[in-house]
A and B are shown apart, each in its own frame.
Chain A
Amino acid sequence: DGGITQSPKYLFRKEGQNVTLSCEQNLNHDAMYWYRQDPGQGLRLIYYSQIVNDFQKGDIAEGYSVSREKKESFPLTVTSAQKNPTAFYLCASSIGQNTGELFFGEGSRLTVL
């Protein structure tokens, strides 16, 4: 089945630690996105990538980093510089540019202890 796989589903981290969230898609989509969702809030864009080896900052990129070495993979690293990292992280993909329909993964819930 085609889709987007995020892992881990739940993650606990101590303050000061970096953590990497995985996002893999087998939809052959060019574009991939990372969003952050806080309780009762909307989705805020962290980073996005339209093509392999290229990515752009979204609205809240500070304290995060990404890479896009392969078309199917777009991992997100939450660094220790992110002041309030506890959140629900959603990865999404779309066929290409012009922002058509987004397909979301099931999300990764990060809790900083």
Chain B
Amino acid sequence: GQQVMQIPQYQHVQEGEDFTTYCNSSTTLSNIQWYKQRPGGHPVFLIQLVKSGEVKKQKRLTFQFGEAKKNSSLHITATQTTDVGTYFCAKAAGNKLTFGGGTRVLVKP
């Protein structure tokens, strides 16, 4: 089926540094959602992007939807140990949500 690809699969970050994770689709997306799953936990909704070029911020997290609505990015500034976890993007296809493979973030203190 139609998938969303997330890169990188793993992200090792020094505490205090910034990083970006990407979500790419070969088809135009109606919307994109982002979730965070802490180790041993369950996914928790972060945000939904709908409009072309949309940018939304949540404290140190910045989410962006591409102009062509085929890709999205999550940028985290000044990474903290609390940012550890796996970040998933998900696209709506009909009445179901399809998840990417996730970016697993490890923070080095």
Contacts and interface: CB of A to CB of B under 8 A. Distances in A.
Given A40-B104, A59-B1, A102 B42 contact: no
Interface residues on A, range: 20 to 34
A45 B96 contact: yes
Given A40-B104, A90-B43, A102 B97 contact: yes
A100 interface: yes
A100 B48 contact: yes
Given A40-B104, A59-B1, A33 B43 contact: no
Contact of B43 (A45, A56, A98, A104): A104
Interface residues of B, number: 22
A105 B96 CA distance: 17
A99 B92 contact: yes
Contact of B48 (A44, A45, A101): A101
Contact of A103 (B33, B41, B45, B92): B45
28 contacts: A33-B97, A41-B101, A42-B6, A42-B99, A42-B102, A43-B88, A43-B99, A45-B96, A45-B98, A48-B96, A50-B95, A58-B96, A59-B1, A59-B98, A90-B42, A90-B43, A98-B92, A98-B95, A99-B92, A99-B95, A100-B48, A102-B43, A102-B97, A103-B45, A104-B44, A105-B42, A106-B41, A106-B42
Interface of B: 1, 6, 33, 35, 41-45, 48, 88, 90, 92, 95-102, 104
